[in-house]
A and B are shown apart, each in its own frame.
Chain A
Amino acid sequence: MVHVSATPVLALRGVSKRFGAVQALTDVELEVHAGEVVALVGDNGAGKSTLVKTIAGVHPIDDGVIEWEGKKVAVNKPHDAQDLGIATVYQDLALCDNIDVVGNLFLGRELRRRGVLDEVEMERRSRELLQTLSIRIPSVRIPVASLSGGQRQVVAIARSLLGEPKLVILDEPTAALGVEQTAQVLDLVERLRERGHAVILISHNMADVKAVADKVAVLRLGRNNGVFEVKSTSQEEIISAITGATENAVTRRAARSNAEAQK
């Protein structure tokens, strides 16, 4: 385990978010430290994506506080988050199929030399970056269309790292991937941790979560439903927190009948 700093890189304190009549998030707490992978899990509609979007500045929060390295910050638009050092890799890959790997890595922040694209420097840095991340792709000069799903995902993640972010948010990075490709992405997540990035990993896949995460934060119906240390928690406990097995129709009914029996 790498050194985990005392002050969290990102801390959410009592964050709430409403969409009209829907209370999407209620008093959510979350802490992420440098060199730590926090898995964010929950059923569909639990508020994972909303929470990530509030951090990424897509949806400003209604109540609560976002702390960045111990200081309160306002994240009102995606640019604010980027300036802080938050990089988000969304589920639907944000790559252009017709452009090669180098072009995609530097898309929107091309390096220039006397006003002209500096292809040589971009290619050199791309190779360097992919090499330090141990990413294997056939060539940095082939269009992204010819890469496999896993390779595209690692390119998308590598791209988010070009700005040297402190926090990387991965939204279901392994959702559409095969066994080998999932392994590639999980390897990469571990390397991010080794490099001292804080990582928030959203996943439905318990095996992935158990494999790479240090902590698991469970959301249920827009509220915190426990934060677990992965090492000391069984998969069943996490799943019951996700599904609310401790508080559902079955347990409520049992509790009711218990209460009636006691009368």
Chain B
Amino acid sequence: MSIDKTKAPVDSPAAAADAVTAIDPRLLVREQGFAGYIGEFKRKMRAGDLGAMPVVVGLIVIVAIFQSLDSAFLSAQYLSTIFVAMVATGMMAVGIIFVLLLGEIDLSIGSVSGVSGAIMAVMTVTHGMNEWLAIATSLVGGAAMGAIHGFFFARIGAPAFAVTLAGLLFWNGFMLQLLGSNGTINIDSDGVVGQLTTYYFSDVAAAYGLAVVAVAGYFLSAYFGAKRREAAGIPSRPLSEIILRTVLLAVAVFGVAIIFNQYKGLPLAVLLFAIVLVGSDFLLRRTAYGRKIFALGGSVEASRRAGINVTAIRVSVFAIAGLFAAVGGLFWASKIAAANQSAGAGDLLMNVIAAAVIGGTSLFGGRGRTWNALLGVLVITSIQYGLALLGIATPIQYMITGGVLLATVCIDSITRKTQKSAGRA
């Protein structure tokens, strides 16, 4: 018998006092200073908590290979092109990360993005509608299409895989119907949509200004966050760590800004993508809504018992995926200056899912951040443009991208196993 009621001192105040403050001896606590960081880093690697490491290493390897094969790869012009080209896929990847966090999948986003481009083109070109209104219509349309998938999944209970597979076919047919017999509608490349991927802020102050805002914003929020935690008497990040992180961020951000300014300046598309990344990350990690999405990815039953409206969250998440698919569709239409029958087809869907997964979003739900979309889409687009630069044909491109995706999924599964054995799944 483990507890003897007569002997055990019930609620002894001495035990209560040191309950949480006394750190469990089994818990490894990071030592202070930079030696501590290295120790923790090694431990995390061993525990399978790889974070963004494999992607960053992979990206460096990819860039190094292409640069050694063709020195034009690292030119300011080519890098700027890659950054602009990745935005369409990246926007859609942000949307699918929301769905992947639930542990579900959305196969329809390619087709939905095609419909969105077609709606915009038909309304502006064929019917002469105001372009902003047409954009709003296609975005609302995308969200509505996503919500329809969400309804059949969450309310009717059909598997998301099957529902969105049906959506893939249905919306592709819908797009072909909208485009009509001639199949291609060219859009005004000087219009709002046309400028999405062609406009650059040529003033060097734009790129540098954005970089300063990003670095200062990060530092201030981290600094005041730590101050507030300190005031509340809970563990906080030391100033040295905040400064180290800020410096690393500054190196990356200013490096990219310098590259942009050597070509045409800060691309509008990249600015919009950055805003979407910051906004969606905020939504997922700093709001109650985002917490509910993570909870559903962890345990549906626990979420339901905690009073979370499971159906509403699921429908809204699919609507978000549809919305971002529509955004991606507009960028796609902008890139090719037209809405055509091949929009949203081919390897687009696979690239979007690959970008999310390569970035580190788990296919098993509950794990991932929208920043994963940035890293993943950088990898995918670098491979595509690098191979194109070397004049390697599409069939080989597909095979290489497929291989990279397989490797990533394997890394995801293996780290999950390692994490389980390290108790961090």
Q: Which residues of A contact B (CB under 8 A)?
A: 90, 92-99, 103, 107-110, 112, 115-117, 120-121, 123-124, 127, 130-143, 145-146, 179-180, 182-183, 186-187, 190-191, 194, 207, 210-212
Asked whether, in the complex, the Cβ of B2 is within 8 Å of the Cβ of A180, the reply is yes
Out of A99, A123, A194, which one reaches B298, CB within 8 Å? A99
Provide the residues of chain B in CB contact with A98, threshold 8 Å.
294, 297-298, 365-367, 425
21 A-B pairs in the complex with CB atoms less than 8 angstroms apart = A90-B305, A98-B294, A99-B291, A107-B308, A108-B303, A108-B307, A108-B308, A110-B291, A112-B288, A115-B287, A124-B234, A131-B19, A132-B16, A136-B24, A138-B26, A146-B423, A180-B2, A183-B3, A187-B3, A190-B8, A212-B5
- Tell me the number of A-to-B contacts counted with CB atoms below 8 Å: 139
Asked whether, in the complex, the Cβ of B294 is within 8 Å of the Cβ of A99, the reply is yes
Shortest CB distance A117–B (Å): 5
Asked whether, in the complex, the Cβ of A145 is within 8 Å of the Cβ of B20, the reply is no
Q: Which residues of B, 148-199, contact A by the 8 Å Cβ criterion? A: none
Provide the residues of chain A in CB contact with B422, threshold 8 Å.
146
Of chain B, the residue at the smallest CB distance from A90 is B305
Cα distance A143–B297 in the bound complex, in angstroms: 13
Q: Beyond A90-B305, A98-B366, is A135–B19 a contact (Cβ under 8 Å)? A: yes
Asked whether, in the complex, the Cβ of B233 is within 8 Å of the Cβ of A124, the reply is yes
Provide the residues of chain A in CB contact with B20, threshold 8 Å.
127, 130-131, 135-137, 140
Shortest CB distance B231–A (Å): 8
Does B286 sit within 8 A of A, measured CB to CB?
yes
Cα distance A179–B1 in the bound complex, in angstroms: 8
Provide the residues of chain B in CB contact with A97, threshold 8 Å.
298-299, 366, 425
Asked whether, in the complex, the Cβ of B288 is within 8 Å of the Cβ of A110, the reply is yes
Does B302 sit within 8 A of A, measured CB to CB?
yes
Does B306 sit within 8 A of A, measured CB to CB?
yes
Shortest CB distance A187–B (Å): 7
Provide the residues of chain B in CB contact with A179, threshold 8 Å.
2
Does B229 sit within 8 A of A, measured CB to CB?
yes
Does B21 sit within 8 A of A, measured CB to CB?
yes
Of chain A, the residue at the smallest CB distance from B308 is A108
Asked whether, in the complex, the Cβ of B295 is within 8 Å of the Cβ of A186, the reply is no
Q: Which residues of B, 12-51, contact A by the 8 Å Cβ criterion? A: 15-17, 19-24, 26-27
Q: Beyond A108-B306, A115-B287, A135-B19, is A186–B424 a contact (Cβ under 8 Å)? A: no
Of chain A, the residue at the smallest CB distance from B365 is A98
Provide the residues of chain B in CB contact with A133, threshold 8 Å.
16, 19
Provide the residues of chain B in CB contact with A191, threshold 8 Å.
10-11
Cα distance A207–B24 in the bound complex, in angstroms: 28
Provide the residues of chain A in CB contact with B366, threshold 8 Å.
96-99
Q: Beyond A96-B303, A97-B298, is A116–B19 a contact (Cβ under 8 Å)? A: no
Shortest CB distance A95–B (Å): 6
Out of A108, A134, A138, A145, which one reaches B16, CB within 8 Å? A134
Cα distance A115–B214 in the bound complex, in angstroms: 22
Out of B2, B24, B424, which one reaches A183, CB within 8 Å? B2
Does B4 sit within 8 A of A, measured CB to CB?
yes
Cα distance A1–B272 in the bound complex, in angstroms: 66
Out of B4, B16, B297, B306, which one reaches A107, CB within 8 Å? B306
Q: Beyond A99-B295, A107-B295, is A130–B11 a contact (Cβ under 8 Å)? A: no
Asked whether, in the complex, the Cβ of B228 is within 8 Å of the Cβ of A120, the reply is yes
Q: Beyond A121-B232, A123-B234, is A145–B424 a contact (Cβ under 8 Å)? A: yes
Provide the residues of chain A in CB contact with B305, threshold 8 Å.
90, 94
Of chain A, the residue at the smallest CB distance from B419 is A145
Cα distance A142–B28 in the bound complex, in angstroms: 12
Out of A90, A92, A94, A116, which one reaches B286, CB within 8 Å? A116
Q: Which residues of B, 267-290, contact A by the 8 Å Cβ criterion? A: 286-288
Provide the residues of chain B in CB contact with A115, threshold 8 Å.
287
Central interface residue in A96, A131, A210, by most chain B CB within 10 Å: A96
Provide the residues of chain B in CB contact with A183, threshold 8 Å.
2-3
Please, what's the 1-or-0 string for B371-407, where 1 marks a CB less than 8 Å from any CB in chain A?
A: 0000000000000000000000000000000000000
Provide the residues of chain A in CB contact with B424, threshold 8 Å.
142-143, 145-146
Asked whether, in the complex, the Cβ of B234 is within 8 Å of the Cβ of A137, the reply is no
Asked whether, in the complex, the Cβ of A182 is within 8 Å of the Cβ of B229, the reply is no
Does B301 sit within 8 A of A, measured CB to CB?
yes
Asked whether, in the complex, the Cβ of B425 is within 8 Å of the Cβ of A145, the reply is yes
Provide the residues of chain B in CB contact with A135, threshold 8 Å.
19-20
Cα distance A95–B300 in the bound complex, in angstroms: 10
Asked whether, in the complex, the Cβ of B228 is within 8 Å of the Cβ of A138, the reply is no
Q: Beyond A94-B305, A127-B234, is A134–B11 a contact (Cβ under 8 Å)? A: yes
